[in-house]
Amino acid sequence: MVSLKVIVSLLAAVSILSSSLFAEKIVVHKKDILKKVIKVEGMTCVGCEVSLENALKGVKGVLKVKASSQTDTADIEFDKTKTNMQEIKKVISKKGYDPE
């Protein structure tokens, strides 16, 4: 019969191995982070803001988004090593808005 001490030791080892195997390390250097405010024509309501924010949050490298239909802007924070303004504007256009 396996002792309780052996079982606890095995569980601890599995826990350590699984956390080290599956832990994703995300390292972002501040020099790689850009914050841009871009003009976005065509948003008329909060639903438009949410729709645009969700679409942009799906872009790899986009860290934060805040869209405003009142100011016709989108504040975007992104990792320039993973995406760029051209890709971000492409997503905005696909949602039916006009990025300037």
pLDDT for position 17 = 46
| pTM of the predicted structure, to 2 decimals | 0.70
Q: Which domain holds residue 53?
A: 30-99
The amino acid sitting at 93 is: S
Within-domain flag for 36: yes
Asked if the structure places residue 84 within a domain, the reply is yes
Q: How many domains does the chain have?
A: 1
> For residue range 50-97, what is the model confidence (pLDDT) as tens digits?
999 999 999 999 999 999 999 999 999 999 999 999 999 999 999 999
Q: What is the CATH number of the domain that holds 95?
A: 3.30.70.100
62-68 β-sheet, strand order: 62-68, 73-79, 33-41, 98-99
In a domain, 12, yes or no: no
The 10s digit of each residue's pLDDT in 8-58 is 454 445 454 444 444 444 555 688 999 999 999 999 999 999 999 999 999
Residue 1 vs residue 47, higher pLDDT: 47
Q: Confirm whether 10 is domain-assigned.
A: no
Q: Is residue 77 part of a domain?
A: yes
